[in-house]
Amino acid sequence: MIKKNLLGAVLVGMFLAGISYAQDSTDQGNSSQGQGPGAKHSHRAPSQAAIDACSGKAVDDTCDYTNSKGEDKTGACANTRDGQTLFCKRVRKASSE
């Protein structure tokens, strides 16, 4: 009987710890998006260079900028998820088969 109660208490504790972890990761806002287990895409804020590349342009206008690694990137101007900022979103080349 004591073993069953102990096992139940351990399982409940693990469950509550999991809920707490999930809540903490969602409370961190944009800084943690896309960084959890199984995340496929990260949604970081665009760099200042990507934002500057679309200054005075409209959505879907072509743009280019140099990233922090010194690489030239080409894309199209797009809004951030919140719709507040226009930035140069890279256009990825289709993979050849």
- The whole-chain average pLDDT of the chain stands at 75
Mean pLDDT over 83-95 rounds to 88
Residue 59 has pLDDT above 50, yes or no: yes
List, for residues 7-42, the tens digit of each pLDDT value.
666 655 565 555 444 444 444 444 444 444 555 566
Residue 97 has pLDDT above 70, yes or no: no
Rounded CA separation 77/33 (Å): 22
